[in-house]
Amino acid sequence: MEDPKPTVTVGATVPAERIAAAAAVRRLIHSFVAHDGDIAVLGRIAAEADRLAEELRAAPGRVREQSVLDRFATPKADGDELACFDDCMVAGPANPLSAGTSGRRDGDEAVLTVTLDAGFEGLPGRAHGGALACLFDEAMGYALYMDAVPAFTAWLKVNYRAPVPAGTPLELRARLARREDRKCTMTATATVDGSVVADAEALFVVPRV
């Protein structure tokens, strides 16, 4: 039997070098999708990516502390930045898969701004609807966390009203529509140049203490 790989426990803040590396990988992903590199370039990417992946797999694993939840324990003031976990798949700056979003509080709404670049395409030139659904879920979570309400998604419904062009700035606004005990009904809209391209409704549930 092989010895288990060692792990390290990490806190809420990650090194700047990890964030920079994640940003570089994101640039590579979007460049890979958007540009037609020649055979030699593709071969170098494959070889170097495999080599670096092996180096990382040989390093200790990462386990995140529950303290990463502490940032959501204090309500945010109007205009404050809204930030997710650094490792979050949707918005985390230290995750190469994230969309590179930014968020802020605007009154009773959480505002999330993002540009879905080439790596998020579904049909040619259009952002994938699943990526937009993830962003709605994220924005709604922000709308609860900004008032220090921890809750989890029970269901999410998205109405797609117009195509979302890839590479175009997108704004999402989410708010708490009503709360009944542990159940929080959320609503949100997504706009491009002021025109609504999608809207969403969801039920979030506050966990039992």
Query: Is the separation of the CB atoms in 34 and 117 below 8 Å?
Result: yes
Strand 102-106 and strand 81-82: the pairing is: antiparallel
Q: What is the pLDDT along the chain (209 residues), one digit of tens a residue?
A: 454 566 666 656 788 999 999 999 999 999 999 999 999 999 999 999 999 999 999 999 888 777 666 777 889 999 999 987 888 899 989 999 999 898 999 999 999 999 999 999 999 999 999 999 999 999 999 999 999 998 999 999 999 999 999 999 999 999 999 999 999 999 999 999 999 999 999 999 999 87
DSSP calls for 137-186 = HHHHHHHHHTTT---EEEEEEEEE-S--BTTSEEEEEEEEEEEETTEEEE
| Helices first, then strands: H and E counts in the chain | 3, 9
Which residue range is the domain that position 48 belongs to?
Answer: 1-209
What's 23's domain CATH number? 3.10.129.10
